[in-house]
Amino acid sequence: MSAIKMSGRYHVEHLDKNGTLKGTYEFPNGIVDVGMNHILDTQFHDTTAVSTWYIALVDNDSFSTFANADTMASHTGWIEATTYTQTDRVEWVEGAASGRSITNAVTVDFSINATVTLKGIFVTSDNTKSGTLGTLWSTASFASNVSAVNGDTLKITYTVSG
């Protein structure tokens, strides 16, 4: 029998306006306290499960830190980047779990519409850009900041394993 140690990992392809690959980034995420508590409550305390999760971007402006205590209502060390054409945060459409992991078969795509320096990614249950409701599941930093410009696309695959 193995212990449960949940972790997540992002794979991001960064394309320019012509579809040329500008960079590939892979990095792990941290699962915040409210995210882990939600999973535990859902499985063991009869709390309603989140049916849809959304991926969003973290702006490098004003970034200082991610913290385990971060929530959607209170995350003083970072702000959301909203410089993409999609009206809402983008849905993470995961497949069924297999081999102790779950992932999306179709990438979560962000069409960048301004110059921005990105620090990372987060996953939440609320689709509203800059929204402060819902459950924050996880946060993650790129290994180094990512500069994006109007016309770039970020194609994200997110995998959670246990």
Does 24 reside within a domain? yes
Average the pLDDT over 8-32 and give the result.
Answer: 96
pTM: 0.93
| Interatomic CA distance for residues 78 and 63, integer angstroms | 5
Q: Do 120 and 137 meet the contact criterion of CB atoms below 8 Å apart?
A: no
Does 50 reside within a domain? yes
Summarised one tens digit per residue, pLDDT across range 29-64 is 989 999 989 888 988 898 888 989 999 999 999 999
Q: Do 122 and 56 meet the contact criterion of CB atoms below 8 Å apart?
A: yes
Does 64 reside within a domain? yes
Summarised one tens digit per residue, pLDDT across range 86-138 is 999 999 999 999 999 999 999 999 999 999 999 999 999 999 999 999 999 99
Does 1 reside within a domain? no
Tally of CB atoms within 10 A around 71: 16
Provide the pLDDT confidence category of residue 1 given band limits of 50, 70 and 90.
low
Domain containing 102 equals 7-161
Does 2 reside within a domain? no
Domain count, the chain: 1
Per-residue model confidence (pLDDT) at position 43: 86
Does 111 reside within a domain? yes
Per-residue model confidence (pLDDT) at position 49: 86
| Interatomic CA distance for residues 7 and 30, integer angstroms | 7
Summarised one tens digit per residue, pLDDT across range 59-96 is 999 999 999 999 999 999 999 999 999 999 999 999 99
Does 106 reside within a domain? yes
Does 120 reside within a domain? yes
Per-residue model confidence (pLDDT) at position 2: 66
